[in-house]
């Protein structure tokens, strides 16, 4: 008689624990935090042998334009943020296109979620300088790429940046 009751108590405790843990989880994906709410980055690029990028999932039409940037949340199990860079749209057609690696800071949120802070993109004056450095223009807009790395593979999640 006591054994079925003990099993029931253990089962209820396990269910309660899973509800508590699931309440602390983050949605899978790469998100840019803006003052208006999060924007999911669904398109990514890969580096070709020539050094150019090519869109591997979706197209540049699926890449959002961000004017006010706060932070990035990366939650892709088995993938880890491996870098941040900025370049103009020329990076998709010219292997010699200007690009800059941008310093970033990581904060582990849970076992697979990371908060990425990029001060040079958050500050309008630094972002304007970076846009000039990569020779971006209205015809060739600037893109910030969040590099996600796993087992020697890299996915570059882009978003367009512009200053109002």
Residue ranges per domain, the chain? 25-161
Pick from 157, 90, 146: nearest CA to 118: 146
122: left (phi over 0), alpha (psi -120 to 50) or beta: alpha
pLDDT bucket at 164, cuts 50 / 70 / 90: confident
Evaluate whether 88 touches 98 at the Cβ level (below 8 Å): yes
Give the C-alpha separation, 53 to 164, whole Å. 27
**pLDDT tens-place string over residues 14-52:** 333 433 444 457 889 999 999 999 999 999 999 988 888
pLDDT (tens digit per residue) in 83-100: 999 999 999 998 899 999
pLDDT at 5: 38
Record the pTM: 0.82
**Is 90 exceeded by the pLDDT of residue 2?**
no
| Distance, CA of 44 to CA of 58 (rounded, Å) | 7
Tokens representing residue 21 in the block: 């843990």
DSSP annotation of 110 reads S
């Amino acid at each position: 008689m006591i054994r079925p009751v003990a099993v029931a108590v253990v089962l209820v405790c396990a269910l309660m624990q899973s509800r508590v843990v699931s309440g602390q989880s983050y949605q899978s994906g790469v998100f840019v935090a803006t003052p208006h709410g999060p924007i999911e980055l669904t398109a990514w690029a890969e580096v070709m042998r020539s050094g150019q990028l090519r869109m591997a999932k979706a197209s540049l039409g699926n890449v959002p334009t961000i004017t006010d940037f706060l932070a990035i949340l990366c939650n892709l199990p088995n993938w880890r943020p491996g870098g941040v860079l900025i370049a103009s749209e020329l990076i998709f057609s010219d292997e010699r296109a200007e690009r800059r690696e941008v310093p970033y800071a990581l904060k582990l949120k849970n076992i697979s979620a990371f908060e990425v802070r990029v001060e040079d993109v958050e500050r309008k004056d630094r972002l304007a300088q970076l846009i000039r450095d990569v020779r971006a223009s209205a015809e060739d807009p600037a893109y910030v790429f969040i590099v996600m790395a796993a087992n020697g593979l890299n996915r570059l999640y882009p978003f367009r940046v512009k200053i109002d």
